[in-house]
């Protein structure tokens, strides 16, 4: 069966209509591309370390970076970070509204306020007024783990209704000072609660929404929970910017967010889409090892091709014929194919380096030029290798009627014996 390619997967998720807000040069909501966010883990006062992480995040596909602003030194750090950052910077504010005012003075492109942690209306309105005067947007960042106690009590816990009520109350304070340059998140660590909260919020307001499963945890569970929540909502057209909250290097968050959007056809592909067979008894190489080596080799190379690693020459090129480029293992050899056509046969040890060289050639010269340079003997060598393997292993055991008939014939005596014992 041919594997589907990204080219076959048209974006099929009509976006929910929202207002638009700006975070520096990035527009969020409306018809703007869904953006990827992450958060630095350095002390914001450590300007060089924070900038270094911001650059790594931007290279991994992060569109907007958030830094904690939890002390005056952090606000001072922001003043030095922001002019040198390649992407807009949002200050994350809990508890101290004056740190929000200091972050605005430092020139941040956006604020995140937690309504559960800054609860005095006058303080909330003071921040909103200052943001309004500076044309800076604010995310109302409700979090199920730090809900306003009186809302928590009223709703009996961090229910979807409670999360949305917290956001709506904050919005009401903002409107009192004529501020609505807002996006909203209602994150929970329980994926079902998170999904239901965002659905309810999407039915309640028309502001852009920032999606995330909070405190999702380390890999792989954190990734699974985040994808389950975020992808479910994106497939319903809900969500304008996303963040994976992983207990991992934030670069992994940015990569995961970007990869999810590319996988769903919601952002243009920036990096390789590696497909690989799951391997089976036919495999002539350690497919997991080769695929992992290829994945590592292509990371950060900005090669937006679909590349296949297949375990055998018998089925590999056919099953991955829609890939731009691939390699299938034969006995001690790698059979390099472009759009299903064998272009070169290389020693097994050079499989990954040959993939990289061919991918770079496609990026430089185009697929047609690479096909035109194909080794004229490659198809014949591969055909002979395939035939040799077929003779040794038999044709695909999943579909070969003659093999199935032979298997059934072996069971006949068993059936006969059972029939005899029942008689
Ligand atoms: S038949 Fe070949 S390509 Fe398919 S899973 Fe097995 S090794 Fe991989």
Please tell me the predicted confidence (pLDDT) of residue 387.
85
Please tell me the predicted confidence (pLDDT) of residue 248.
94
Question: Rounded to an integer, what distance in angstroms lies between the CA atom of residue 103 and that of residue 107?
Answer: 7
Tokens coding 300: 């950060």
Please determine, for residue 147, whether its predicted confidence score (pLDDT) is greater than 50.
yes
pTM of the predicted model as reported, rounded to 2 decimal places = 0.86
396 CA closest ligand 1 atom index: 1
Task: Find, among 141, 154, 252, 118, the residue nearest to 188 by Cα.
Answer: 141
Task: Find, among 107, 76, 73, 77, the residue nearest to 90 by Cα.
Answer: 107
The CATH code for residues 273-393 is 3.30.413.10
Q: What angle do CA 257, 288, 297 make, to 5 degrees?
A: 60
Task: List pocket residues of ligand 1, CB cut-off 6 Å.
Answer: 277-280, 282-283, 310-312, 314-316, 319
Chain region(s) in the chain for CATH 3.20.20.20: 13-263
242 near 213, Cβ under 8 Å? no
Please tell me the predicted confidence (pLDDT) of residue 395.
55
pLDDT single digits (tens) 186-200: 999 999 999 999 999
281 CA closest ligand 1 atom index: 6
Tokens coding 256: 């995961």
| Strand pairing category for 333-338 and 325-329 | antiparallel
The CATH T-level fold of domain 13-263 is: TIM Barrel (3.20.20)
CA of 44 to the centre of ligand 1 (A): 49
How far are the Cα atoms of 60, 72, 103, 311 from residue 109, in angstroms, in the given order?
20, 18, 9, 49
Please tell me the predicted confidence (pLDDT) of residue 141.
97
> Is residue 386 very low, low, confident or very high in pLDDT (cuts 50, 70, 90)?
confident
314 CA closest ligand 1 atom index: 2
Chain region(s) in the chain for CATH 3.30.413.10: 273-393
């Amino acid at each position: 069966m041919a594997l589907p390619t990204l080219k076959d997967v048209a974006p099929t998720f009509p976006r929910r209509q929202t207002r638009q807000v700006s975070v520096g040069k990035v527009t969020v909501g409306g018809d703007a591309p869904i953006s990827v966010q992450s958060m630095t883990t350095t002390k914001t006062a450590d300007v060089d370390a924070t900038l270094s992480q911001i650059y790594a995040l931007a290279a991994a596909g992060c569109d907007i970076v958030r830094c904690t602003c939890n002390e005056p030194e952090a606000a001072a750090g922001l003043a030095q970070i922001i002019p040198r950052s390649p992407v807009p910077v949002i200050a994350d504010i809990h508890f101290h509204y004056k740190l929000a005012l200091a972050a605005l003075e430092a020139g941040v492109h956006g604020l995140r306020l937690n309504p559960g942690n800054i609860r005095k209306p006058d303080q909330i309105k003071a921040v909103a007024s200052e943001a309004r005067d500076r044309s800076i947007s604010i995310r109302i960042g409700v979090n199920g783990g730090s809900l306003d106690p009186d809302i928590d009590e009223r709703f009996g816990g961090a229910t979807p209704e409670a999360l949305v009520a917290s956001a709506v109350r904050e919005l009401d304070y903002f409107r009192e000072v004529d501020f609505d340059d807002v996006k909203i998140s209602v994150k929970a660590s329980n994926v079902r609660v998170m999904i239901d909260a965002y659905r309810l919020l999407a039915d309640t307001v028309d502001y852009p929404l920032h999606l995330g499963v909070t405190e999702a945890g380390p890999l792989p569970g954190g990734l699974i929970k985040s994808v389950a929540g975020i992808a479910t909502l994106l497939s319903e057209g809900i969500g304008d910017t996303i963040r994976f909250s992983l207990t991992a290097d934030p670069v992994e968050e940015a990569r995961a967010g970007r990869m999810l959007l590319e996988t769903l056809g919601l952002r243009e592909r920036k990096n390789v889409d590696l497909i690989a067979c799951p391997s089976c008894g036919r495999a002539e190489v350690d497919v997991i090892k080769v695929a992992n080596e290829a994945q590592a080799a292509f990371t950060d190379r900005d090669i937006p091709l679909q590349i296949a690693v297949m375990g055998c020459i018998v089925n590999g090129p056919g099953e991955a014929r829609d890939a731009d480029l691939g390699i299938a293992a034969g006995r001690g050899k790698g059979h390099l194919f472009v759009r299903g056509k064998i272009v070169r046969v290389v020693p097994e040890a050079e499989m990954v380096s040959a993939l990289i060289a061919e991918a770079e050639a496609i990026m430089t010269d185009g697929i047609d030029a690479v096909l035109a340079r194909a080794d004229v003997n490659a198809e014949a060598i591969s055909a002979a290798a395939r035939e040799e393997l077929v003779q040794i292993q038999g044709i695909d055991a999943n579909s070969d009627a003659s093999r199935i008939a032979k298997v059934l014939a072996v069971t006949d005596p068993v059936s006969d014996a059972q029939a005899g014992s029942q008689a």
